[in-house]
Amino acid sequence: MQAITLNGPSLDLLTRVELPDPLPPGHGQVLVRMHAASLNFIDLAVAFGKYPGISFPLVPIADGVGEIIAIGDDVLDLAVGDRVALHPKTIWFAGRGTIEKANATRGVSRPGSLIEIATVDAGSVVKVAEHLSWEAAATVPIAATTAWNALVCADVGPGSTVVFLGTGGVSIFGLQLAKARGARAIVTSSSDEKLELARKLGADETINYNESPDWDLQVLKLTSGLGADLVLDTVGTATFTRSLSAARYGGVIFTIGFVTGTNLQIDLMPIIVKALRIQGNNTGSAEDFGKVMQAIKAARIDPVVAETFSVGDVAEAYHAQSNGPVGKLAVRLDW
C-alpha cells in the first residue's frame, strides 16, 4: 500500500513510499481505507522540528477519515462500508486523560493519516455525519473537539459571551458551535476580509486588532464592562494577558495556542481577584469527539474548508497552513 513518510524535520523530507499491506484486523480493530486528511498546527510543529520527542521516519498528519473495509473480532456498532473519522488520540477512548493517553497521537507518536489503509482500534473511530464530504469530515477531529471542550468547560449556552482569537480552525469551529448553543460570539482578526467571513458565519461582533490593539478593552465595552464568559486563546504569549483582561469574573481562559511562544511572565492578581479559571487542553477523548460530531450533525454545521490539495501536493498544503488559512485545509488522498 502507498503512504507518505516524513523522514526528518523538513518538508523536503516528505517521501512517497510503498509499505506492506496491513494484516487482517485483530481483536477490537478495524481497517480503514483513508480518503482525506486535514492539517493542524501540531502537524506543522512536527514537520518543522518544533515538537518534542519525535522519532523519524513517521507517517504524518493527525486528522483523517475513510471507509471501513474490514472488522476484527468483538467490534460492535460498526460495519464494513461505514464512513468514519479517526480520533487522533489513539488510546484515549473516554474519561479523564492521562499522559499516556494524551501522548499517543496519530502523526506524532503513532502512524498518521497519509496512508492508504490504516489499522486502528474500533474505540478510536467516530461515524461521520452524513452531510459531510470526506474533505469536510477530515477537518473535524482535533479542531472541533478542542472547540467543543472549551464551550463545555465554560458551560456556554444562551446568554453566554465567547471571544475567539483569530479565524483558524479551532476558532471557526468554536464560532459555529457557540452559535448552535445560543451564545454571543466575538471574533478578533487583523484582516477585515476574514472578519467579514466571521460575520457571515454568525459572529455578533468583530474586532480588528490592528486597528484596536487594546482588543480586550473593546470586549469589555461590548459587554458593558462585564467581560466574556470564555476567551479561547489560540495564540499564546502575545495575547494571554489581554485574554485575562477580557474575561468576566469567574470566566474561563481556554489556552491552546503557542504560535507566539510559551514563556510568559504575568501578574497573578487579575486571576486571583477575578477568580478566573485557566484551562489547558490536549484535544480530548474519542467520546468527546463523538459528542461534537453529533452536534455538527444535529445543527448541520458545514466546516469551513479554505482549500483542498491533492496528496501529491501535500508539501504545498503545509506551506498554506503556515500562512494561517480561514478555517481548515484538507488533503484528498487520491493515490
The CATH number of the domain where 192 resides is what? Answer: 3.40.50.720
pLDDT at position 52 over 90:
no
Q: Is residue 174 part of a domain?
A: yes
Q: Please, which pLDDT band fits residue 262 given cuts at 50, 70 and 90? A: confident
Do 136 and 148 reside in the same domain of the chain?
no
Do 127 and 51 reside in the same domain of the chain?
yes
Do 136 and 6 reside in the same domain of the chain?
yes
- Residue 259 is predicted with a pLDDT of 82
For residue 65, what are the β-bridge partners? 36, 85
Burial class (CB within 10 angstroms; exposed 0-12, middle 13-18, buried 19+) of 211:
exposed
Do 19 and 122 reside in the same domain of the chain?
yes
Q: Is residue 222 part of a domain?
A: yes
Quick one: average pLDDT of 55-81?
Answer: 97
Q: Nearest-CA neighbor of 116 among 20, 11, 39, 212?
A: 20
- Residue 53 is predicted with a pLDDT of 86
pTM, full prediction: 0.96
Q: Is residue 285 part of a domain?
A: no
Tens digits of residue pLDDT in 143-170 = 999 999 999 999 999 999 999 999 999 9
CB 288 within 8 A of CB 149: yes
Do 46 and 168 reside in the same domain of the chain?
no
Q: Is residue 295 part of a domain?
A: no
CB 254 within 8 A of CB 231: yes
Domain residues for 226? Answer: 144-280
Q: Is residue 210 part of a domain?
A: yes
Return the exposure string of 141-161: e unless at least 16 CB atoms fall within 10 Å of the residue's CB, then b: bbbbbbbbbbbeebebeeebb
Q: Is residue 50 part of a domain?
A: yes
Do 75 and 149 reside in the same domain of the chain?
no
Q: How many domains would you assign to the chain?
A: 2
Do 130 and 162 reside in the same domain of the chain?
no
Give the mean pLDDT of the chain.
Answer: 97
User: What stretches of 147-268 adopt beta strand conformation (E)?
Assistant: 161-165, 184-189, 205-208, 228-233, 247-255
Do 157 and 136 reside in the same domain of the chain?
no
Do 161 and 257 reside in the same domain of the chain?
yes
Quick one: average pLDDT of 92-121?
Answer: 97
Q: Nearest-CA neighbor of 304 among 200, 185, 212?
A: 200
Q: Is residue 13 part of a domain?
A: yes
- Distance CA(141)–CA(128), nearest Å, equals 10
Do 93 and 178 reside in the same domain of the chain?
no
Do 159 and 136 reside in the same domain of the chain?
no
Domain with residue 86: its CATH number is: 3.90.180.10
**24 Cβ contact partners less than 8 Å away, ≥ 6 residues apart:** 31, 70, 72
Rg (the chain; Cα; Å):
20
Q: Is residue 180 part of a domain?
A: yes
Boundary of a domain, candidates 265, 280, 295:
280
N- to C-terminal Cα separation, the chain: 10
Do 94 and 136 reside in the same domain of the chain?
yes
Decide the pairing of beta strands 184-189 and 328-332: unpaired
Quick one: average pLDDT of 60-82?
Answer: 97
Higher pLDDT, 181 or 260: 181
Tens digits of residue pLDDT in 191-239 = 999 999 999 999 999 999 999 999 999 999 999 999 999 999 999 999 9
